[in-house]
Structure 1
Amino acid sequence: MIESQTLDFLKELVENNNREWFQANKERYDKARANVIELATNVITKLHKVDPSVSADLDPKKCVMRIYRDIRFSKNKIPYKNNFGVSLPTLGSKLGGVEYYLHIQPGKSFIAGGYWMPEAEHLKAIRQEIDYNANDLKKIIDDKEFVKLFGEFRKQDQLKTTPKGYDVDNENIDLLKLKSFIVSHPLKDKELMGAGAADEIVTMCSKAYPLNIFLKNAIA
Protein backbone atom coordinates (compact mmCIF):
# COMPACT_ATOMS: atom_id res chain seq x y z
CA MET A 1 0.00 0.00 0.00
CA ILE A 2 1.00 3.62 -0.41
CA GLU A 3 1.94 5.49 2.76
CA SER A 4 0.40 8.88 3.51
CA GLN A 5 3.94 10.31 3.62
CA THR A 6 4.39 9.40 -0.05
CA LEU A 7 1.32 11.35 -1.09
CA ASP A 8 2.31 14.22 1.22
CA PHE A 9 5.69 14.40 -0.51
CA LEU A 10 4.05 14.65 -3.93
CA LYS A 11 1.64 17.33 -2.71
CA GLU A 12 4.50 19.45 -1.37
CA LEU A 13 6.55 18.87 -4.52
CA VAL A 14 3.83 20.59 -6.55
CA GLU A 15 4.28 23.72 -4.46
CA ASN A 16 8.08 23.50 -4.38
CA ASN A 17 9.10 22.12 -7.75
CA ASN A 18 12.72 23.27 -7.77
CA ARG A 19 16.11 21.65 -7.29
CA GLU A 20 16.86 23.37 -4.01
CA TRP A 21 13.75 22.05 -2.28
CA PHE A 22 14.11 18.62 -3.86
CA GLN A 23 17.70 18.23 -2.69
CA ALA A 24 16.74 19.34 0.81
CA ASN A 25 14.01 16.68 0.79
CA LYS A 26 15.93 13.97 -1.03
CA GLU A 27 15.59 11.56 1.88
CA ARG A 28 11.80 11.93 1.76
CA TYR A 29 11.86 11.28 -1.97
CA ASP A 30 13.97 8.14 -1.51
CA LYS A 31 11.50 6.82 1.08
CA ALA A 32 8.54 7.64 -1.17
CA ARG A 33 10.14 5.89 -4.13
CA ALA A 34 10.95 2.86 -1.98
CA ASN A 35 7.29 2.76 -0.94
CA VAL A 36 6.19 2.77 -4.60
CA ILE A 37 8.73 0.04 -5.43
CA GLU A 38 7.36 -2.07 -2.60
CA LEU A 39 3.83 -1.74 -3.98
CA ALA A 40 5.07 -2.49 -7.50
CA THR A 41 6.77 -5.64 -6.20
CA ASN A 42 3.50 -6.90 -4.72
CA VAL A 43 1.53 -6.01 -7.83
CA ILE A 44 3.99 -7.81 -10.15
CA THR A 45 3.81 -10.99 -8.08
CA LYS A 46 0.01 -10.98 -8.08
CA LEU A 47 -0.42 -9.78 -11.66
CA HIS A 48 1.81 -12.52 -13.05
CA LYS A 49 -0.79 -15.03 -11.85
CA VAL A 50 -3.49 -13.19 -13.82
CA ASP A 51 -1.42 -12.38 -16.90
CA PRO A 52 1.62 -14.68 -17.25
CA SER A 53 3.06 -12.36 -19.93
CA VAL A 54 3.88 -9.96 -17.09
CA SER A 55 7.13 -11.58 -16.05
CA ALA A 56 7.49 -12.54 -12.40
CA ASP A 57 11.14 -11.55 -12.84
CA LEU A 58 10.39 -7.92 -13.71
CA ASP A 59 12.63 -5.58 -11.74
CA PRO A 60 10.23 -3.28 -9.87
CA LYS A 61 12.96 -0.65 -9.55
CA LYS A 62 13.10 -0.40 -13.34
CA CYS A 63 9.31 -0.39 -13.62
CA VAL A 64 9.05 2.76 -11.50
CA MET A 65 9.66 5.60 -13.93
CA ARG A 66 12.05 8.48 -13.35
CA ILE A 67 10.64 11.48 -11.51
CA TYR A 68 13.07 13.75 -13.34
CA ARG A 69 11.55 15.48 -16.36
CA ASP A 70 13.43 15.79 -19.66
CA ILE A 71 13.32 19.55 -20.13
CA ARG A 72 15.87 19.83 -22.94
CA PHE A 73 13.28 20.50 -25.64
CA SER A 74 10.39 21.66 -23.48
CA LYS A 75 9.20 25.18 -22.77
CA ASN A 76 8.10 23.92 -19.36
CA LYS A 77 11.31 23.93 -17.31
CA ILE A 78 9.81 22.47 -14.12
CA PRO A 79 12.40 19.80 -13.26
CA TYR A 80 10.26 17.13 -11.58
CA LYS A 81 7.08 15.20 -12.29
CA ASN A 82 4.32 15.52 -9.71
CA ASN A 83 3.60 11.79 -9.75
CA PHE A 84 5.07 8.31 -9.68
CA GLY A 85 4.47 6.21 -12.78
CA VAL A 86 4.81 2.41 -12.79
CA SER A 87 5.03 0.65 -16.16
CA LEU A 88 4.23 -3.07 -16.18
CA PRO A 89 5.06 -4.39 -19.67
CA THR A 90 3.65 -7.59 -21.14
CA LEU A 91 6.26 -8.10 -23.84
CA GLY A 92 9.42 -8.61 -21.81
CA SER A 93 11.32 -6.06 -19.75
CA LYS A 94 11.08 -3.15 -22.19
CA LEU A 95 8.72 -0.50 -20.85
CA GLY A 96 5.94 0.73 -23.09
CA GLY A 97 3.95 -1.15 -25.71
CA VAL A 98 1.07 -3.32 -24.53
CA GLU A 99 1.19 -2.88 -20.79
CA TYR A 100 -0.49 -2.04 -17.53
CA TYR A 101 0.30 1.34 -16.03
CA LEU A 102 -0.13 2.62 -12.48
CA HIS A 103 -0.22 6.38 -11.95
CA ILE A 104 0.19 7.65 -8.40
CA GLN A 105 -0.74 11.31 -7.90
CA PRO A 106 -2.75 12.73 -4.99
CA GLY A 107 -6.37 12.93 -6.04
CA LYS A 108 -5.55 11.87 -9.62
CA SER A 109 -4.29 8.31 -9.39
CA PHE A 110 -5.40 5.67 -11.88
CA ILE A 111 -4.68 2.23 -13.29
CA ALA A 112 -4.54 1.75 -17.05
CA GLY A 113 -4.12 -0.94 -19.66
CA GLY A 114 -3.68 -1.20 -23.41
CA TYR A 115 -1.24 0.41 -25.82
CA TRP A 116 -0.63 4.17 -25.81
CA MET A 117 0.41 5.70 -29.14
CA PRO A 118 1.69 2.54 -30.88
CA GLU A 119 4.70 2.82 -33.16
CA ALA A 120 3.82 2.89 -36.88
CA GLU A 121 4.37 -0.82 -37.55
CA HIS A 122 2.31 -1.86 -34.53
CA LEU A 123 -0.42 0.65 -35.31
CA LYS A 124 -0.74 -0.79 -38.81
CA ALA A 125 -0.96 -4.32 -37.39
CA ILE A 126 -3.58 -3.37 -34.80
CA ARG A 127 -5.74 -1.67 -37.43
CA GLN A 128 -5.47 -4.73 -39.63
CA GLU A 129 -6.55 -6.93 -36.73
CA ILE A 130 -9.52 -4.64 -36.09
CA ASP A 131 -10.45 -4.77 -39.76
CA TYR A 132 -10.32 -8.57 -39.77
CA ASN A 133 -11.67 -9.29 -36.27
CA ALA A 134 -13.56 -6.23 -35.11
CA ASN A 135 -16.24 -8.34 -33.47
CA ASP A 136 -13.67 -9.81 -31.09
CA LEU A 137 -12.64 -6.33 -29.96
CA LYS A 138 -16.20 -5.04 -29.75
CA LYS A 139 -17.19 -8.00 -27.60
CA ILE A 140 -14.54 -6.83 -25.11
CA ILE A 141 -15.04 -3.07 -25.14
CA ASP A 142 -18.84 -3.09 -25.34
CA ASP A 143 -19.27 -5.44 -22.40
CA LYS A 144 -21.42 -3.67 -19.79
CA GLU A 145 -18.97 -4.23 -16.94
CA PHE A 146 -16.06 -3.08 -19.11
CA VAL A 147 -17.86 0.14 -20.05
CA LYS A 148 -18.86 0.73 -16.43
CA LEU A 149 -15.24 0.45 -15.27
CA PHE A 150 -13.43 2.17 -18.13
CA GLY A 151 -15.98 4.25 -20.02
CA GLU A 152 -16.52 4.36 -23.78
CA PHE A 153 -13.42 2.97 -25.49
CA ARG A 154 -14.05 4.85 -28.72
CA LYS A 155 -13.94 8.23 -26.98
CA GLN A 156 -10.20 8.71 -27.07
CA ASP A 157 -7.84 10.48 -29.45
CA GLN A 158 -8.74 9.79 -33.09
CA LEU A 159 -7.43 10.77 -36.49
CA LYS A 160 -9.37 13.59 -38.09
CA THR A 161 -9.08 11.85 -41.45
CA THR A 162 -9.58 8.25 -42.55
CA PRO A 163 -6.45 6.12 -42.11
CA LYS A 164 -4.70 5.15 -45.32
CA GLY A 165 -6.03 1.96 -46.85
CA TYR A 166 -9.48 2.14 -45.27
CA ASP A 167 -12.80 3.42 -46.54
CA VAL A 168 -14.68 6.18 -44.75
CA ASP A 169 -17.79 3.98 -44.88
CA ASN A 170 -16.10 1.10 -43.03
CA GLU A 171 -18.49 0.03 -40.27
CA ASN A 172 -15.60 0.08 -37.78
CA ILE A 173 -14.05 3.37 -38.86
CA ASP A 174 -14.44 4.78 -35.32
CA LEU A 175 -12.09 2.07 -34.06
CA LEU A 176 -9.75 2.23 -37.05
CA LYS A 177 -9.23 5.98 -36.54
CA LEU A 178 -7.98 5.56 -32.96
CA LYS A 179 -4.41 6.71 -32.25
CA SER A 180 -4.21 4.86 -28.94
CA PHE A 181 -5.94 1.80 -27.52
CA ILE A 182 -6.07 2.38 -23.79
CA VAL A 183 -8.45 2.17 -20.86
CA SER A 184 -8.12 3.61 -17.37
CA HIS A 185 -9.91 3.55 -14.04
CA PRO A 186 -9.42 6.12 -11.24
CA LEU A 187 -8.04 5.10 -7.87
CA LYS A 188 -8.88 7.06 -4.74
CA ASP A 189 -6.13 7.96 -2.30
CA LYS A 190 -7.78 5.85 0.39
CA GLU A 191 -7.76 2.85 -1.95
CA LEU A 192 -4.03 3.22 -2.51
CA MET A 193 -3.44 3.59 1.22
CA GLY A 194 -5.53 0.55 2.06
CA ALA A 195 -4.07 -2.83 2.97
CA GLY A 196 -5.67 -4.31 -0.16
CA ALA A 197 -4.19 -1.79 -2.59
CA ALA A 198 -2.21 -4.37 -4.59
CA ASP A 199 -5.26 -6.64 -4.87
CA GLU A 200 -7.44 -3.72 -6.01
CA ILE A 201 -4.92 -2.75 -8.67
CA VAL A 202 -4.58 -6.31 -9.95
CA THR A 203 -8.35 -6.69 -10.08
CA MET A 204 -8.56 -3.64 -12.35
CA CYS A 205 -5.72 -5.01 -14.48
CA SER A 206 -7.61 -8.29 -14.84
CA LYS A 207 -10.52 -6.38 -16.36
CA ALA A 208 -8.17 -4.85 -18.95
CA TYR A 209 -6.50 -8.20 -19.60
CA PRO A 210 -8.76 -9.24 -22.56
CA LEU A 211 -7.94 -5.96 -24.33
CA ASN A 212 -4.23 -6.53 -23.84
CA ILE A 213 -4.57 -10.05 -25.23
CA PHE A 214 -6.29 -8.71 -28.36
CA LEU A 215 -3.57 -6.10 -28.88
CA LYS A 216 -0.72 -8.52 -28.27
CA ASN A 217 -2.19 -11.00 -30.75
CA ALA A 218 -2.40 -8.20 -33.30
CA ILE A 219 1.30 -7.39 -33.16
CA ALA A 220 2.60 -10.90 -32.56
Structure 2
Amino acid sequence: MIITQISKETLQFLKQLQENNNRDWFTDHKAEFKEHEKAVKLFFAEVFNDLKTYDEVDDFKMFRIYRDVRFSKDKTPYKTHLASSFHRVKPKLRGGYYVHIEPGNTFLATGFWNPNKEDLLRIRKELELDADEMREILANKNLLKIWGTLEGEELKTSPAGFDKEHEAIDLIRKKQYVFTRNFSDKEVLSADFAQKIQESFKAIRPFFDYMSDVLTTDLNGVSLL
Protein backbone atom coordinates (compact mmCIF):
# COMPACT_ATOMS: atom_id res chain seq x y z
CA MET A 1 0.00 0.00 0.00
CA ILE A 2 1.26 3.46 -0.90
CA ILE A 3 2.10 5.60 2.11
CA THR A 4 4.19 8.30 0.45
CA GLN A 5 2.42 11.60 -0.26
CA ILE A 6 3.24 14.63 -2.34
CA SER A 7 4.23 17.37 0.10
CA LYS A 8 3.09 20.95 0.23
CA GLU A 9 6.76 21.96 0.18
CA THR A 10 7.27 20.22 -3.17
CA LEU A 11 4.40 22.14 -4.77
CA GLN A 12 5.73 25.34 -3.23
CA PHE A 13 9.18 24.68 -4.68
CA LEU A 14 7.74 24.08 -8.16
CA LYS A 15 5.75 27.30 -7.82
CA GLN A 16 8.95 29.16 -6.95
CA LEU A 17 10.62 27.59 -9.97
CA GLN A 18 7.79 28.89 -12.15
CA GLU A 19 8.57 32.38 -10.89
CA ASN A 20 12.37 32.02 -11.09
CA ASN A 21 13.01 29.86 -14.13
CA ASN A 22 16.66 30.72 -14.66
CA ARG A 23 19.97 28.98 -14.17
CA ASP A 24 21.26 31.20 -11.35
CA TRP A 25 18.21 30.62 -9.14
CA PHE A 26 18.16 26.90 -9.87
CA THR A 27 21.87 26.52 -9.14
CA ASP A 28 21.37 28.22 -5.78
CA HIS A 29 18.46 25.88 -4.97
CA LYS A 30 19.68 22.68 -6.62
CA ALA A 31 20.23 20.81 -3.35
CA GLU A 32 16.66 21.58 -2.33
CA PHE A 33 15.42 20.46 -5.74
CA LYS A 34 17.25 17.15 -5.38
CA GLU A 35 15.42 16.46 -2.13
CA HIS A 36 12.03 17.11 -3.72
CA GLU A 37 12.97 15.07 -6.78
CA LYS A 38 13.99 12.15 -4.57
CA ALA A 39 10.72 12.26 -2.63
CA VAL A 40 8.57 12.42 -5.75
CA LYS A 41 10.54 9.60 -7.36
CA LEU A 42 9.74 7.48 -4.32
CA PHE A 43 6.07 8.35 -4.78
CA PHE A 44 6.27 7.29 -8.45
CA ALA A 45 8.05 4.07 -7.47
CA GLU A 46 5.24 3.18 -5.11
CA VAL A 47 2.65 4.01 -7.78
CA PHE A 48 4.56 1.61 -10.03
CA ASN A 49 4.66 -1.14 -7.41
CA ASP A 50 0.92 -0.84 -6.79
CA LEU A 51 0.25 -0.78 -10.54
CA LYS A 52 2.13 -4.07 -10.89
CA THR A 53 -0.39 -5.81 -8.62
CA TYR A 54 -3.08 -5.66 -11.33
CA ASP A 55 -1.29 -4.92 -14.62
CA GLU A 56 1.91 -5.94 -16.37
CA VAL A 57 4.23 -2.93 -16.52
CA ASP A 58 7.91 -3.22 -17.25
CA ASP A 59 9.36 -0.11 -15.60
CA PHE A 60 8.71 3.54 -14.91
CA LYS A 61 10.55 6.57 -16.21
CA MET A 62 10.82 9.84 -14.29
CA PHE A 63 11.47 12.69 -16.67
CA ARG A 64 14.39 15.05 -16.17
CA ILE A 65 13.77 18.63 -15.08
CA TYR A 66 15.87 20.09 -17.89
CA ARG A 67 14.04 21.32 -20.99
CA ASP A 68 15.28 20.74 -24.53
CA VAL A 69 15.18 24.30 -25.85
CA ARG A 70 16.98 23.72 -29.15
CA PHE A 71 13.85 23.95 -31.28
CA SER A 72 11.60 25.90 -28.94
CA LYS A 73 10.73 29.59 -28.83
CA ASP A 74 10.43 29.21 -25.06
CA LYS A 75 14.02 29.29 -23.83
CA THR A 76 13.31 28.83 -20.12
CA PRO A 77 15.75 26.09 -19.07
CA TYR A 78 13.62 24.06 -16.65
CA LYS A 79 10.30 22.27 -16.61
CA THR A 80 8.02 23.45 -13.85
CA HIS A 81 6.58 20.01 -13.18
CA LEU A 82 7.70 16.53 -12.20
CA ALA A 83 6.35 13.60 -14.20
CA SER A 84 6.66 9.90 -14.79
CA SER A 85 5.45 7.38 -17.36
CA PHE A 86 4.61 3.71 -16.86
CA HIS A 87 4.58 1.36 -19.85
CA ARG A 88 2.72 -1.91 -20.24
CA VAL A 89 4.71 -4.93 -21.38
CA LYS A 90 4.98 -5.13 -25.16
CA PRO A 91 4.24 -6.68 -27.57
CA LYS A 92 1.20 -8.37 -26.06
CA LEU A 93 -0.01 -5.35 -24.09
CA ARG A 94 -0.37 -1.82 -25.39
CA GLY A 95 -0.89 1.59 -23.86
CA GLY A 96 0.72 3.45 -21.01
CA TYR A 97 0.15 5.67 -18.00
CA TYR A 98 1.44 9.15 -17.21
CA VAL A 99 1.44 11.19 -13.97
CA HIS A 100 2.17 14.93 -14.10
CA ILE A 101 2.70 16.91 -10.87
CA GLU A 102 2.53 20.69 -11.26
CA PRO A 103 1.01 23.46 -9.12
CA GLY A 104 -2.41 24.26 -10.57
CA ASN A 105 -1.98 21.76 -13.39
CA THR A 106 -1.64 18.22 -12.05
CA PHE A 107 -3.15 15.54 -14.26
CA LEU A 108 -3.08 11.92 -15.28
CA ALA A 109 -2.99 10.89 -18.92
CA THR A 110 -3.39 7.53 -20.54
CA GLY A 111 -3.99 5.96 -23.92
CA PHE A 112 -2.25 6.30 -27.26
CA TRP A 113 -0.61 9.71 -27.66
CA ASN A 114 1.43 9.14 -30.79
CA PRO A 115 0.63 5.76 -32.39
CA ASN A 116 2.85 4.81 -35.29
CA LYS A 117 1.24 4.79 -38.73
CA GLU A 118 0.86 0.99 -38.77
CA ASP A 119 -0.95 0.92 -35.43
CA LEU A 120 -3.11 3.90 -36.35
CA LEU A 121 -4.19 2.25 -39.60
CA ARG A 122 -4.97 -1.00 -37.79
CA ILE A 123 -7.14 0.83 -35.25
CA ARG A 124 -8.97 2.69 -37.99
CA LYS A 125 -9.55 -0.48 -39.98
CA GLU A 126 -11.04 -2.17 -36.91
CA LEU A 127 -13.35 0.77 -36.28
CA GLU A 128 -14.35 0.78 -39.93
CA LEU A 129 -15.28 -2.90 -39.63
CA ASP A 130 -17.09 -2.62 -36.29
CA ALA A 131 -17.02 0.22 -33.75
CA ASP A 132 -19.71 -1.16 -31.43
CA GLU A 133 -17.30 -2.58 -28.84
CA MET A 134 -15.30 0.65 -28.71
CA ARG A 135 -18.47 2.71 -28.27
CA GLU A 136 -19.66 0.41 -25.49
CA ILE A 137 -16.35 0.86 -23.66
CA LEU A 138 -16.41 4.65 -24.09
CA ALA A 139 -19.98 4.76 -22.74
CA ASN A 140 -19.11 2.85 -19.56
CA LYS A 141 -20.38 4.84 -16.57
CA ASN A 142 -17.30 4.26 -14.43
CA LEU A 143 -14.92 5.29 -17.21
CA LEU A 144 -16.98 8.40 -17.95
CA LYS A 145 -17.14 9.33 -14.27
CA ILE A 146 -13.39 9.06 -13.79
CA TRP A 147 -11.91 9.99 -17.19
CA GLY A 148 -14.66 11.72 -19.10
CA THR A 149 -14.76 11.47 -22.87
CA LEU A 150 -12.09 10.35 -25.32
CA GLU A 151 -9.69 13.12 -26.32
CA GLY A 152 -6.94 13.59 -28.90
CA GLU A 153 -6.11 15.37 -32.12
CA GLU A 154 -8.14 14.45 -35.17
CA LEU A 155 -8.38 15.15 -38.86
CA LYS A 156 -11.00 17.63 -40.05
CA THR A 157 -12.22 15.11 -42.59
CA SER A 158 -11.68 11.40 -43.22
CA PRO A 159 -8.25 9.73 -43.56
CA ALA A 160 -7.24 8.70 -47.06
CA GLY A 161 -9.10 5.56 -48.12
CA PHE A 162 -11.93 5.94 -45.59
CA ASP A 163 -15.49 7.00 -46.32
CA LYS A 164 -16.20 10.42 -44.80
CA GLU A 165 -19.82 9.35 -44.35
CA HIS A 166 -18.94 6.22 -42.35
CA GLU A 167 -20.97 5.94 -39.15
CA ALA A 168 -17.77 5.69 -37.08
CA ILE A 169 -15.91 8.52 -38.82
CA ASP A 170 -15.81 10.47 -35.53
CA LEU A 171 -13.54 7.74 -34.17
CA ILE A 172 -11.74 6.87 -37.41
CA ARG A 173 -10.48 10.40 -38.03
CA LYS A 174 -8.72 10.58 -34.67
CA LYS A 175 -4.92 10.67 -34.68
CA GLN A 176 -4.71 10.14 -30.93
CA TYR A 177 -6.81 8.13 -28.50
CA VAL A 178 -6.17 9.58 -25.06
CA PHE A 179 -7.84 10.39 -21.76
CA THR A 180 -6.86 12.92 -19.09
CA ARG A 181 -7.96 13.48 -15.50
CA ASN A 182 -7.16 16.72 -13.67
CA PHE A 183 -6.57 17.26 -9.96
CA SER A 184 -6.56 20.37 -7.80
CA ASP A 185 -3.58 21.11 -5.56
CA LYS A 186 -5.76 20.18 -2.58
CA GLU A 187 -6.44 16.76 -4.09
CA VAL A 188 -2.75 16.25 -4.86
CA LEU A 189 -1.82 16.88 -1.22
CA SER A 190 -4.58 14.67 0.16
CA ALA A 191 -3.90 11.26 1.70
CA ASP A 192 -5.98 9.49 -0.95
CA PHE A 193 -4.30 10.99 -4.04
CA ALA A 194 -2.35 7.80 -4.70
CA GLN A 195 -5.53 5.78 -4.30
CA LYS A 196 -7.25 7.97 -6.89
CA ILE A 197 -4.38 7.36 -9.30
CA GLN A 198 -4.87 3.61 -9.01
CA GLU A 199 -8.66 3.99 -9.26
CA SER A 200 -8.11 5.88 -12.50
CA PHE A 201 -5.68 3.38 -13.99
CA LYS A 202 -7.95 0.45 -13.14
CA ALA A 203 -10.89 2.16 -14.82
CA ILE A 204 -9.05 2.42 -18.15
CA ARG A 205 -8.28 -1.30 -18.38
CA PRO A 206 -11.28 -2.25 -20.59
CA PHE A 207 -10.07 0.30 -23.15
CA PHE A 208 -6.50 -0.99 -22.96
CA ASP A 209 -7.62 -4.61 -23.21
CA TYR A 210 -9.63 -3.82 -26.33
CA MET A 211 -6.80 -1.87 -27.98
CA SER A 212 -4.25 -4.55 -27.10
CA ASP A 213 -6.44 -7.19 -28.71
CA VAL A 214 -6.85 -5.07 -31.85
CA LEU A 215 -3.15 -4.30 -32.15
CA THR A 216 -2.02 -7.89 -31.69
CA THR A 217 -4.41 -9.47 -34.21
CA ASP A 218 -5.34 -9.01 -37.86
CA LEU A 219 -8.83 -8.10 -39.08
CA ASN A 220 -9.80 -11.77 -38.92
CA GLY A 221 -8.82 -11.98 -35.27
CA VAL A 222 -5.73 -14.07 -35.93
CA SER A 223 -2.85 -13.40 -33.53
CA LEU A 224 0.15 -11.54 -34.94
CA LEU A 225 2.40 -12.54 -32.07
1:147 is the counterpart of 2:144: yes
Q: Once the 2 structures are TM-superposed, how far is the Cα of residue 41 of structure 1 from its aligned partner?
A: 1.1
Identity %: 35
Q: State the match for 1:47 in structure 2.
A: 51
CA distance in 2, matches of 1:74, 1:170: 39
**Alpha-carbon deviations, 1:160-186, whole Å to 9, x = none?**
121122101111000001111111111
Higher-Rg structure is 2
Q: Which deviates further from its counterpart, 68-77 or 120-129?
A: 120-129
Q: Once the 2 structures are TM-superposed, how far is the Cα of residue 128 of structure 1 from its aligned partner?
A: 2.0
Q: State the match for 1:103 in structure 2.
A: 100
**Secondary structure of 1:168's aligned partner:** coil
CA contact (8 A) 2:81 2:101 kept: yes
Aligned amino acid, residue 16 of structure 1: N
TM normalised by structure 1 equals 0.88
| Greater fraction helix | 1
CA distance in 1, matches of 2:106, 2:209: 24
Q: How many residues were matched structurally?
A: 209
1:91 is the counterpart of 2:95: no
1:202 is the counterpart of 2:179: no
CA distance in 2, matches of 1:15, 1:80: 11
Q: Once the 2 structures are TM-superposed, how far is the Cα of residue 67 of structure 1 from its aligned partner?
A: 1.5
Q: State the match for 2:111 in structure 1.
A: 114
CA contact (8 A) 2:114 2:176 kept: yes
Q: State the match for 1:169 in structure 2.
A: 165
CA distance in 2, matches of 1:163, 1:91: 30
CA contact (8 A) 1:36 1:64 kept: no
The residue correspondences of 1:16-31 to structure 2 (distance < 5 A) are 16-31=20-35
Q: State the match for 1:72 in structure 2.
A: 70
CA contact (8 A) 1:14 1:82 kept: yes
CA distance in 1, matches of 2:35, 2:209: 35
Q: State the match for 1:123 in structure 2.
A: 120
Q: Once the 2 structures are TM-superposed, how far is the Cα of residue 192 of structure 1 from its aligned partner?
A: 2.3
Aligned amino acid, residue 84 of structure 2: V
**Alpha-carbon deviations, 1:41-96, whole Å to 9, x = none?**
11111111222x213xx2x4xx111111111111111111111111011135xxxx
CA contact (8 A) 2:113 2:152 kept: no
List alignment gaps of at least 5 residues for structure 1. Answer: none
**Secondary structure of 1:200's aligned partner:** helix
**Secondary structure of 1:190's aligned partner:** helix
TM normalised by structure 2 equals 0.86
Q: Once the 2 structures are TM-superposed, how far is the Cα of residue 125 of structure 1 from its aligned partner?
A: 1.8
1:214 is the counterpart of 2:174: no
Aligned amino acid, residue 87 of structure 2: P
CA distance in 1, matches of 2:45, 2:79: 22
CA distance in 2, matches of 1:218, 1:167: 21
CA contact (8 A) 1:112 1:205 kept: no
CA distance in 1, matches of 2:145, 2:193: 20
Aligned amino acid, residue 100 of structure 1: Y
